[in-house]
Amino acid sequence: MISLMQSFRIRGGVHPDPKKTATTDLSIASDFPLPKKLYIPLQQHVGKPAEPVVRVGDYVYKGQLLAHSQGMISAPVHAPSSGVVTDIADYPAPHPSALPIRTVFMETDGKDAWQLLQTPTDPFALSAEEISLRVGAAGVVGMGGATFPAAVKLNLGRKNKISTLLINGGECEPYLTCDDRLMQESADGIIDGIRIMLHGMETPQAIVGIEDNKPAAFRAMKKAAADYRQIEVRQVPTHYPMGWDRQLIRYLTGKEVPADGRATDVGVLMHNVATAYAIHHAIRHNRPLVDRVVTIAGGAAVSPGNVWVPIGTLISELLDYCRVDRARMARLVMGGPMMGDALPIAELPVVKATSGILALTQDEITRGSEQACIRCARCISACPAGLLPVDMANRIRSNQLEAAVDIGLKDCISCGSCSYVCPSNIPLVHYFKYAAGELAARQQAQHKTEQTKKLIDERNKRIERIEKQKAEEAARELAAKVAKYTADQAEQVI
């Protein structure tokens, strides 16, 4: 009965072919050969880029700070292995544009030597603030792909006195199994990380949500959490996008986050399982975030699997490791197939957000040609946010972007459910992303025009004022002359 009530809480969504069987039963490989060169971008998180503290030629140990965080929302970056900093320059980012961003180039020495670690401390002897500080200093960010600095979120949770910490073990994207494997292999570490987070936020309880297509992960987590009454491990239906935080929040707690609010407004906060594990390492072992589990899958990968990969490794080396057939690879995707980014080249670094690398074949990505919309409304029933994708796309197509905003464009989460189900192959998400970008550009242009206008207005006022002053002065001078002349005349008369 309870589960029936809960199923009403799921709106929209789709059931894509999970395609996880190729990797779900394989242990995470830890024998990935250490790359000779690493490329560590200084911005791998939401917020300001980190500022380098090392110089070209410096020798750095594994885990040593390369760049410190800047400002309120930022995260530091650490050396993923030991070696020499060879350059700090621009390098293409793992993004569809592959535009260059500031990157630390490293040549590894093969020793993989950790910097001298402080002796581990009991996390529960530390103050809550100290936990946040250490998590921040370890460069931990949201590992599910959002890459929001974890420490900032911990502070938010503490300040807002949230009642429940939610842990996202949904992993609803097809192909990806990195969280699944991590839960199967390191459930104790994840549960420890959750306990540390609860301590750091002074929050009484946590709920872990795991999709019911991962029974092994669920069992492992349930077992690991058995001794901790404050942590509840629950199964959730396999339903894309279950991993959307607001969908999972509603499913697990019945609460709905207001459109203009944050999860903390309804007393909850969500972290990913991999983030919990990273926090466990950061606090227990004083190990900053320097590597992560990456799923390498897709039809072109001959030996797909999950791999522990140092941050900064070139994706091309991963492809070689998993014997990806480059000739058959029609598209390279970072992340899952629903929301991931298509990458133009493989010579891009793995970053903290890289949950998966998919080498997809032509068969896997083929879409028929775009056809007329038949108003079948599949997109409307698939939208988890309750939007009208077909109407929004029509408005965008006729360049009525504001009208598209009126019916909810800004509430779109780009989950791709609408494009996925469209029988006419209309690239709906493409329209929405275009419109969002175009609106931002227009807003910027508008802002610029307003600024220019303001400056011109001020200049005109200034000129006016100066001219007025000049005129006043001239008038004063004239008046003085007149006065003098009158006085002279008067003198003469006398």
Partner 1 sequence: MLNIKPTTGPHTTENLSIGGIMRQVIYALIPATLFGLYLFGWPAINLFLITLFSALFFEYFCLKLADKPALPALKDSSALLTAWLLAMSLPPWAPWWVGVIGAGMAIILGKQVYGGLGQNLFNPAMLARVALLISFPLELTTWANVAPWLSETAPDFKTGLHITFMGLDTIDGSTGATVLGYVKTELSQKHPLSVSLADIYNANNAWLGFMRGSLSETSAILLILGGGWLLFKKIITWHIPLSIIVSVALISAVFHTLNPEIYLSPSVHLSSGALMCAAFFIATDYVTSPNTPVGQLIFGSACGLLIFTIRTWGGYPEGAAFAILLMNAFTPLIDHYVKPRIYGRDRQRRPLEL
Q: Which of residues 348-367 bind partner 1 (CB under 8 A)?
A: 358, 360, 364-365, 367
The verdict on 440 binding partner 1 (CB under 8 A) reads no
User: Among residues 115, 213, 238, 381, which is the contact residue for partner 1, using CB under 8 A?
Assistant: 381
Task: Confirm or reject binding of residue 259 to partner 1 (CB under 8 A).
Answer: yes
User: Does 326 engage in binding with partner 1 (CB under 8 A)?
Assistant: yes
Judged by CB under 8 A, does residue 315 bind partner 1?
Answer: no
Residue number, 97 or 399, with CB nearest to partner 1: 97
Amino acid identity of residue 89, one-letter, is A
In the complex with partner 1, which residue's Cβ is closer, 31 or 363?
A: 363
Q: Does 314 bind partner 1 (CB under 8 A)?
A: no
Residue 131 lies near partner 1 (rule: CB under 8 A):
no
- Among positions 78-117, residues that touch partner 1 (CB under 8 A) are 96-97
The 17-36 site mask, x for binding partner 1 (CB under 8 A), equals x-------------------
For position 1 contacting partner 1 by CB under 8 A, the verdict is no
Q: How far is the CB of 252 from partner 1 (least distance, A)?
A: 15
Nearer to partner 1, 16 or 63 (CB): 16
Q: Is there binding between residue 261 and partner 1 (CB under 8 A)?
A: yes
- Please pick, from the candidates 2, 125, 372, 493, the single residue that binds partner 1 as defined by CB under 8 A: 372
Residues 142, 148: contact at Cβ < 8 Å?
A: yes
Q: Which CB atom, from 326 or from 484, has the smaller least distance to partner 1?
A: 326
Among 2, 4, 116, 327, binds partner 1 (CB under 8 A): 327
**Using rule CB under 8 A, residue 71 touches partner 1:** no
Using the rule CB under 8 A, give the single segment among 74-82, 133-141, 378-386, 450-458 that binds partner 1: 378-386
Q: Which is nearer to partner 1, 376 or 456 (CB)?
A: 376
Number of residues that bind partner 1 (CB under 8 A): 72
Binder among 338, 353, 401, 436 for partner 1 (CB under 8 A): 338
- Among 56-64, 158-166, 221-229, 332-340, which window interacts with partner 1 (CB under 8 A)? 332-340
Residue 425 interacting with partner 1 (CB under 8 A): yes
Question: Does 216 interact with partner 1 (rule: CB under 8 A)?
Answer: no
Structure token pair of residue 387: 């939007």
The phi and psi torsions of 105 (rounded to 5 degrees) equal -95, 130
Per CB under 8 A, 411 contacts partner 1: yes
Nearer to partner 1, 145 or 169 (CB): 145
* Residue 257 binding partner 1, by CB under 8 A: yes
